Amino acid sequence: MNDSTRAQRIVTPAKGSWEEKLIEGRELLAKQEDSGRALLQDLIERLFQMPETMRLAGNQRLNTILLAALLLLARNLAHRDQIDEAAALLERAETVERPERRTRWRFYRARVLLLNEPRDEGFELLQALAASEANVKKRLELWETYLNRAFYWHQLDRIEQTIVELERAANRASATSGDETEARLLQSVRAYFQARVCLAQDRIEEAQHWMDYALAQQSLPFNYIYDFVLELTVRGEYTKALKWVQRDQENIEFVKFLSGYIHFHLGDRSEAERLWRQVIRIFLDADESEEIDPAAIVLSDYYLGSKERLGLSILLQSMQEKEKEEITSREFLLTGLGWAMLGEKLSAHSNFKLALMRLKFLGISPKLEWHWWLFCKDLIPAADLPEYEGYFAISSTSSGSMS
d(CA 347, CA 331): 13
**Which residue blocks in 133-202 are alpha helix, DSSP H?**
136-152, 156-172, 180-200
d(CA 366, CA 81): 9
Cα Rg, the chain, nearest whole Å = 23
User: CB-based burial of residue 398 (10 Å sphere; 0-12 exposed, 13-18 middle, 19+ buried)?
Assistant: buried
Domain residues for 214? 117-220
d(CA 144, CA 111): 12
d(CA 176, CA 299): 48
3-state DSSP assignment of residue 392: strand
On whether both 103 and 201 belong to a single domain, the answer is no
pLDDT over 90 for what percent of the chain?
A: 78
| pTM for this entry | 0.88
The pLDDT assigned to 240 comes to 96
Residue that is last in its domain, among 97, 113, 129: 113
Distance of CA 111 to the CA centre of its chain: 11
**191 is a domain residue:** yes
The pLDDT assigned to 402 comes to 41
* 400 pLDDT more than 50: no
Beta carbons of 193 and 149 less than 8 angstroms apart: no
The pLDDT assigned to 395 comes to 61
Separation of first and last alpha carbons in the chain: 36
On whether both 68 and 19 belong to a single domain, the answer is yes
**401 is a domain residue:** no
On average, the pLDDT of the chain sits at: 90
On whether both 11 and 102 belong to a single domain, the answer is yes
The pLDDT assigned to 178 comes to 65
Q: Which helix (H) or strand (E) holds 311?
A: helix 310-320
Residue 172's identity, in one-letter code, is R
Band of pLDDT at residue 290, cut at 50, 70 and 90: low
Counting Cα atoms < 13 Å in the Cβ hemisphere of 254 gives: 19
d(CA 246, CA 263): 13
**338 is a domain residue:** no
Residue that is last in its domain, among 69, 86, 113: 113
**379 is a domain residue:** no
Interval 160-174 mean pLDDT? 90
On whether both 176 and 127 belong to a single domain, the answer is yes
Band of pLDDT at residue 396, cut at 50, 70 and 90: very low
Torsions phi, psi for 368 (to 5 deg): -70, 140
On whether both 12 and 109 belong to a single domain, the answer is yes
**104 is a domain residue:** yes
Beta carbons of 241 and 207 less than 8 angstroms apart: no
The pLDDT assigned to 399 comes to 41
pLDDT higher at 242 or 306: 242
Q: How many domains is the chain partitioned into structurally?
A: 2
Least confident range of 101-105, 289-293, 370-374: 289-293
